[in-house]
A and B are shown apart, each in its own frame.
Chain A
Amino acid sequence: MSSGERGGWVGEDESARAAGLSAAARERIRGLSRLYDRRQSALIPALFVAQEEAGYLSPEALEAVAETLDLPLSEVTSVASFYTLFYLEPVGRHVIQLCTNLSCMICGCGDVARRMQEILGVGPGETTPDGRFTLRAVECLGACEEAPVMLVDEDRWPRLRPEALPGLLERYP
């Protein structure tokens, strides 16, 4: 399993990034819009492209997406703010999504969450001071047979036990 593909700005000059989004990312977004009969359909995929590149959806990144897809900034920002997987604030290098829904709750995610908070020293929705992890308590991840379960970036970790957490987190420098 790999943690998310980081496409985009490696090798691009600083000024392209300062303008919100690299030329390569803009080109990817334009490519995405060709998959749909209306370009606004590419908005959510485009926001992921922007988020992967910028780390989060900064105002500049949102503006760049709006400009590239020729959509109103108000609409782009409004849509981004609706979905939980778009980050309008900076996040850590790794995002932990710990499921706290029913099946995981029944299977002891409470203990896992408590241990996780002890280890990281932050609560749900917070980022560790070293910028390494952002911890999020999330709704059902659709992997209840593996409860308690979490995602770290794109990796799914099944049947969590509190005592296994330190070793597991070490894999994410």
Chain B
Amino acid sequence: MSDSILLRWTSEATRGLEGYRAAGGYQAARRALTELTPDQVIAMLADSGLRGKGGAGFPTGQKWKFIPREAPVKYVVVNADEGEPGTFKDRTLMEGCPHLLLEGIVIAAATIGARRAYIYLRREFHRCRHLLEEAIAEARRAGLIGDRLLGTEHSVEIVVHSGAGAYIAGEESALLESLEGRRALPRLRPPFPAQSGLYGKPTLVNNVETLCHVPAIVGLGPQRYKELGPPTLFSVSGAVRRPGVYELPLGVTLRTLIFDHAGGLAPGRRFKAAFPGGSSSTLLCESDLDVRLDYDSLRGAGSMMGSAAVIVLDDASDMVEVIARAVEFYRDESCGKCTPCREGTVWIGQILERILHGGGREEDLGLLESIAAGMTGTCFCPLGESVPPNLVLSLRRFREEYGRRLSGEARHGG
């Protein structure tokens, strides 16, 4: 990991403020706040090609630029509600080096002119919460956050705000609802958070990893940053021998990632499929192993970059069970606002459950496709829309596994 620009910080030595500063931490913040104008910082982000790492992949420079300069009250909100199944890079960063995130927040807040930043952290990340709170206290004592930080005109307060168990709160507009103390239901957009976010004020919502890239971009300059990859964190889990977070250049192939970095599969196992960007991304099959993991290539392969969380399935996995489990997840996490997601996930789940337990009918497969079609493009937000593609793909590419269930050859759990 010596070349890494993010993971190099995730060591014991740089976890505390002293170590972090000794290794050059907060230099980028100092540079951004004292040597650069906000426009220059935003231009650097734009030139770096950095895109949101939460899943949507929106160009970060543009997002920052959308925040109206003249608005008197603005906020930075950090999406640390890492809940996309298979994703754990943000947790790794926060547990590894909370100051890296704080530095990114300071740069963001100073650049857009926000005086308050909230880290919306999923509640289950207890260690992150304690470390962040400690780091905030350290940084405040050191004059790195708070009033007139780093001796500049800027003042930023950072508050860690716990989520309470809701995947949908990772969707940025639902996150804002939740941060306002309400049920995490996605908002109608437009208006986008950049115009009307927290309390209706312009709000910059960025993912943890996204903000952790910012000090590197400011520190290295966008050109050098790009030459280094641009670096991307891949969370790899499932049927691999060395699951973990890998910092690799954007565009590494699925094969390289799994077999060269993540240790390949268990002996005697055969690759079956992988979610390349969390369970909301469409599965890649064996024939897709050489697809490059970047935004365009993945779109070309009918999938998406998502949160760059690669969940690997080998031939021990039963595709009907995998799909049923994924559907169960979306069913349980559906907020209930819109009809297709609320009702469709349940109905599909009931049918799959029936198929798994030997009560499947031949016409169920067509019915599943039809319900999936009815949910496609009709849901309010991406949560419900995540269900149909993998269901339909499995019905087409792995139909024989459904067939075995219908004919009673395969049993649940066997």
Contact = CB atoms under 8 A, between A and B. Distances in A.
Interface of A: 1, 35-38, 40-45, 47-48, 71, 75, 78-79, 82-86, 97, 100-103, 105-107, 110, 139-147, 151, 154, 156
A102 B85 contact: yes
Contacts of B309: 144
B124 A151 contact: yes
B86 A140 contact: yes
Interface string B233-256: 001111100011100000000000
Interface stretch (B54-62, B322-330, B341-349, B369-377): B322-330
Contact of B181 (A41, A106, A141): A41
Contacts of B213: none
Given A101-B329, A144-B88, A147-B243, A44 B163 contact: yes
B332 interface: yes
Contacts of B126: 151, 154, 156
Contacts of A47: 164
B204 interface: no
B65 interface: no
B329 A139 contact: yes
A156 B95 CA distance: 13
A41 B187 CA distance: 17
Given A44-B181, A78-B183, A79-B183, A145 B88 contact: yes
A31 to B, nearest CB: 12
B103 interface: no
B180 A82 contact: no
Nearest to B124: A141
Contact of A106 (B83, B164, B313): B313
B184 A103 contact: no
Contacts of A142: 82-83, 87-88, 90-91, 122, 124-125
A141 to B, nearest CB: 5
Contacts of B163: 44, 83
Contacts of A145: 88, 235-237, 243-245
